[in-house]
Amino acid sequence: MFKQILISSIITLIAINLSFAQGGKTWKILSKVKMTSVFNEEFGMPMDVPQFSEEVLALDGKEITITGYIIPEGGYKSHREFILSSLPYNLCYFCGGAGIETVMQVTCTKGVRYTDEPITIKGKLMLNGFDSMQLIYILTEARQVD
């Protein structure tokens, strides 16, 4: 059991390092966020809210280029809206043990064909520190550049 956990942890670390190497300068900056638990009046319970670093705040509203993996929201055809993950599908925030800072919502100007290989996109980054129904990073007006 311990051996399986150790192997799984090593694979995850390798995937994270590969992700950062493939275009991860932006992901590395976006990883500089801390989550703080705050009581949410609307939901009547504590919820995590992001505390963005100065480096992350400097990217708000700016055009960025980022490389990641498509996590489709509906099927595997052409997508204008999807989740981009710094990690492969099986290790991403939703399937693996990664943090919320490793994924972002993407809205593209044109459809992007699904692939399980990393893609590079460019778009306008919006930080979300208040809407718990969306991810903390949202990329709009995006287009594939590779």
The distance of Cα 52 from the centroid of its chain, to the nearest Å, equals: 14
Structural contact between residues 67 and 118, judged by C-beta atoms closer than 8 angstroms = yes
Overall pTM > 0.85: no
Please state the domain extents for the chain.
Answer: 2-144
Give me the amino acid identity at 124. K
Report whether pLDDT(10) > 80.
no
Comparing 1-5, 55-59, 84-88, the range with the smallest average pLDDT is 1-5
Distance CA 102, CA 88 (A): 11
Going by C-beta distance under 8 Å and a sequence separation of 6 or more, which residues neighbour residue 60?
52, 125, 126, 127
Across the chain, mean pLDDT equals 81
Query: What's residue 69's pLDDT?
Result: 93
Question: What SS3 state is found at 19?
Answer: helix
Between 79 and 24, the more confident residue is 79
Residue 95 is predicted with a pLDDT of: 59
Length of the chain: 146
For residue 23, what pLDDT band results from cuts at 50, 70 and 90?
Answer: low
Give me the CATH topology for the region 2-144: OB fold (Dihydrolipoamide Acetyltransferase, E2P) (2.40.50)
Question: Has residue 75 got a pLDDT over 80?
Answer: no
Tens-place pLDDT, residues 107-143: 999 989 889 899 999 999 999 998 888 999 999 999 9
